[in-house]
Structure 1
């Protein structure tokens, strides 16, 4: 198999895990360590990523660039790659709305690059069958991207149709999956305010087992990721509004997740603490949780 050079921008927890799957499949994966945190450098070293001096070098070396970054940064990252003269496959695998994908694609007009729309569902890929990368756009381009991950823990699924379809599917799934955490937390905060939280958990354990409403510890996983989920809710709100649908669900979820942003990457936060944060008038960090 022909070895390929792939760029990853920028390897957070998800991006690093995606990059690791490409490495496992035989690709040389490059990243930009300049200005990145010690945690990012550690993740890159652990996963065998190679350092590029700057974006111009990465763009020149790589036939494929994967963008896995917070939604608010997606357009800026794409513009930087386009300005660097990249001519290969640019895969935007961020949780952005179809409208933002429509804004992003023209950045590469006349550059020789091909834009592929990507949407990742599931946790950072480590075990086969847990995580999918949906792709849409030019069929030959999506097939080439899918081939990068053949035989790895990341399942690539090419959709028929243009750029924007993968993003729409990703946001539709995220809307149900992630807003359910916000809704469960709000229900728990209401129950706690009236002294019936444990009764709610007991009821949900019987009626809705396995859901975030069934136990406080099921909510805990949302806390460290809320800083990413909040802007994703904004993208969902925009996508719903563009489709003529009410956007209030996503706007409310964004406000809920904003109350938890100070728990970024804090794996020790508890569900009980998240519930209490919702009941604080300012949502600010305060007394230690249990």
Structure 2
């Protein structure tokens, strides 16, 4: 595949583990410290990522650039890479709609970039068999991106089809997996508002064991991630509208997750706190 220098924008909790897998497979991974948080700098330093002084330096050094960022930032990141004159394979591995992927592809129109559509399912990759990277688009570019993760904890899956296919699959899975948290929280908040939450928990333990309403501490996992899940729900809603499917579920889930913004990256938040935020009926102050 030629040299194996790869750029990643930007190594958050998911992105840094993706970078780690590429390094395991023999790639040298670059990142851009400019404007990033102390936590991002610590993650990059701990992994040994190579720092670039500018996006121009990063794109000049790398033949593949991976975008792993919050979905609301995906189009802007693509624009920065295009403006830097990148020539290579651009993998957008964000939770965006097929329509957004079309916008991202359009950013590179007329240039020397081949866009690959990516979608990550599962937790940040640490052990084999739990996290997949779906890739669709140009066969040659997909193969180059897939080869970066050969025999790693991030399993590439390459369904046949154009750009947009991987994103559609990712969002369809996320629609069920993540909206279920919002639905469970809604049920618990409804019960709590009427003073019957303990009764609901008891009922769920009998009728629906191993579900969040039966053990509300399971809801806590959504709190630190809700700031990313809210825009992802907006992307799901857009994808639904694109094929004539009702978007109400996704829009309602986005509103729910928006009320948990104050718990960004907070591992101490409890399910009870998240339920209380919904009962209050307003976003908590940050």
1-side partners of 2:171 and 2:212: how far apart? 19
Higher mean displacement: 70-79 or 261-270: 70-79
User: Structure 1 residues 148, 26: CA separation in 2 closer, same or farther (over 3 Å shift)?
Assistant: same
Aligned match of 2:176: 176
1:69 aligns with 2:69: yes
2-side partners of 1:67 and 1:73: how far apart? 10
Query: 1:46-98: per-residue Cα shift (whole Å, max 9, x none)?
Result: 11211011000100000100001111111111011011111111000011110
Aligned match of 2:90: 90
1:219 aligns with 2:183: no
* Residues 257-276 of structure 1: pairs in structure 2 closer than 5 A: 257-276=257-276
Q: Normalized against structure 1, the TM-score is what?
A: 0.95
* Residues 1-290 of structure 1: pairs in structure 2 closer than 5 A: 4-285=4-285
2-side partners of 1:54 and 1:250: how far apart? 37
After superposing on structure 2, the runs of 4+ consecutive aligned residues of structure 1 that deviate more than 6 Å are: none
Q: CA deviation at 1:3?
A: 5.0
Q: CA deviation at 1:245?
A: 1.1
> Are the equivalent residues in 2 in contact too, given 1:97–1:236 (CA < 8 A)?
yes
What's the RMSD between the two structures over aligned residues?
A: 1.3
Equivalent position SS for 2:269? coil
Equivalent position SS for 2:18? helix
> Are the equivalent residues in 2 in contact too, given 1:23–1:48 (CA < 8 A)?
no
> Are the equivalent residues in 1 in contact too, given 2:91–2:116 (CA < 8 A)?
yes
> Are the equivalent residues in 2 in contact too, given 1:3–1:28 (CA < 8 A)?
no
Q: CA deviation at 1:106?
A: 2.0
2-side partners of 1:11 and 1:184: how far apart? 31
Equivalent position SS for 2:266? coil
Equivalent position SS for 1:246? coil
Runs of 5+ consecutive residues of structure 2 not aligned to the other structure: none
Runs of 5+ consecutive residues of structure 1 not aligned to the other structure: none
2-side partners of 1:148 and 1:64: how far apart? 9
Q: Normalized against structure 2, the TM-score is what?
A: 0.97
Tell me how many residue pairs correspond in the alignment: 286
2-side partners of 1:147 and 1:203: how far apart? 49
Equivalent position SS for 2:212? coil
User: Structure 1 residues 163, 205: CA separation in 2 closer, same or farther (over 3 Å shift)?
Assistant: same
Equivalent position SS for 1:220? helix
